[in-house]
Chains A and B, each alone.
Chain A
Amino acid sequence: MNKCSDHKETLLLDVHGELNDEERASWEKHLEDCKDCQIERKRLLTLIQNAKETISSSALSSEEEQFLSGSIQRRLRIEKPDAMFKGVSWWLMPAITACMILLVAGWFSLKDFRSSDNVAINDSEEQIMVNNEDLLENMELLQEMESLEKLVRLLDDSQGESQMNQMESKVEFVHARV
């Protein structure tokens, strides 16, 4: 017959319901003859049974269950608002977000660029307007300047004619001497 110390592990496996058929047959044979093991087995079974009965109820009420289920689903909905992203790996999301930000930023910068073109066009138009106004204001002066210019040209022409006459007379004189 085996000693009780050889059955220590078997005893613990038995009280925790973990013996297989083969182990059980040999253990029950020992148990029939061993009073100490019978007492120890009974003590351990009582301890485990008392512990099971004493531990506070861990049951979840149906309201608590619904609340938990609802809050989990809400959190999941926040993470996955639409089935649109089904099949898209979640690590791609930052890349997609970055692309969208770039697109929006690109749109705004393009808008700015267009508006700066318009400003340039407006600027040149304004400048022409200002120039025209200057012209109108100085019209009299310009007219005076024009008449002065004509006068100078006339003088130049009359001087030129007299010089030409002089040159012609000199040429005639030279021809005569020759």
Chain B
Amino acid sequence: MQDHDLIAKVRELDRDALDELFSRYMRKAYAISFNLCSGDREKAQDLTQEALLKAVRNIDNFRGEALFPTWLYRIIYNTYLDSRKKHSRWLDIFSPLRWKPQKGEVDKEILEEPPDTNDNKNPLSVLQGKQLDNELQNALKELPDKQRIVFQFKVFNEMSIKEIANILNSAEGTVKSHLFRATKHLQKTLGDWSA
């Protein structure tokens, strides 16, 4: 069944159609949310849930000018921006109580994570993998929000520049510029990785 037929059925409150829509786009929606939330699984699940709920509530507003996934990913991005705004408002209120990690300080989350019980994995390679992941996440966090998001959408979610421009409601040239700057920054920060 094509997307537009499926959406027509969702508009008629068909539960099977809704299940089918979720099974088509839930995983991709979560993968995008996961990157937007910098690898926080819980936040990513909340974001996915909120965005899908908004999409279903506003399904009548989907006019089919863009592809359905593009429309859905734009909702995810806007929901993420809204949650960030709310979060930053809270941080402003409690800013005197805020604790900032010093530059170069080891992220405690890695040390506090439970050990991987999978016996097939070499513990050293697991640790190295986690360290590399942490290095990459830190390098991404140093980027301005738009550059980070464009890089993540392009590299991790394998979207085209045109699609990213549609989701972010930006010009393709702007998206290219963000992507190039982000790539250059990561090359500079993670110099050893290029070897």
- Quick check: B194 and A55 within 8 Å, CB to CB? no
- A58 to B12: give the CA distance in the assembly, Å: 32
- Quick check: B156 and A52 within 8 Å, CB to CB? yes
B176: A residues at CB distance < 8 A? 9, 12-13
Category for how many chain B residues contact A: 35 or more
A64 at the interface (CB under 8 A from B): yes
Q: Which residues of chain A (96-147) have a CB below 8 Å from chain B?
A: none
- Quick check: A71 and B193 within 8 Å, CB to CB? no
- Quick check: A51 and B155 within 8 Å, CB to CB? yes
- A48 to B182: give the CA distance in the assembly, Å: 11
- A26 to B160: give the CA distance in the assembly, Å: 22
In the complex, residue of chain A having the shortest beta-carbon distance to the beta carbon of B136: A54
B53 at the interface (CB under 8 A from A): yes
B45: A residues at CB distance < 8 A? 64, 68
**B52 touches which one: A64, A72, A79 (CB < 8 A)?**
A72
- Quick check: B180 and A43 within 8 Å, CB to CB? no
A46 at the interface (CB under 8 A from B): yes
**B179 touches which one: A12, A55, A76, A79 (CB < 8 A)?**
A12
* Contact (A72, B22) CB under 8 Å given A52-B156, A54-B136, A56-B39: yes
B19: A residues at CB distance < 8 A? 69
In the complex, residue of chain B having the shortest beta-carbon distance to the beta carbon of A73: B18
How far is the CB of B74 from the nearest CB of chain A, in Å?
A: 18
- Quick check: A52 and B155 within 8 Å, CB to CB? yes
- A35 to B185: give the CA distance in the assembly, Å: 23
Interface of B is mostly: helix
A51: B residues at CB distance < 8 A? 136, 155-156, 186, 190, 193
- Quick check: B156 and A58 within 8 Å, CB to CB? yes
- Quick check: A55 and B53 within 8 Å, CB to CB? no
How far is the CB of A38 from the nearest CB of chain B, in Å?
A: 14
A37: B residues at CB distance < 8 A? none
B73 at the interface (CB under 8 A from A): no
- A18 to B160: give the CA distance in the assembly, Å: 7
B129 at the interface (CB under 8 A from A): yes
Q: Which residues of chain A (16-70) have a CB below 8 Å from chain B?
A: 16, 18, 43-44, 46-48, 50-52, 54-56, 58-60, 64-65, 68-69
How far is the CB of B50 from the nearest CB of chain A, in Å?
A: 9
Q: Which 5 A-B pairs have the closest CB atoms?
A: A58-B34, A43-B194, A60-B30, A47-B194, A54-B132
Q: List 7 A-B contacts (CB under 8 A).
A: A16-B183, A46-B195, A68-B26, A68-B49, A73-B18, A76-B56, A86-B12
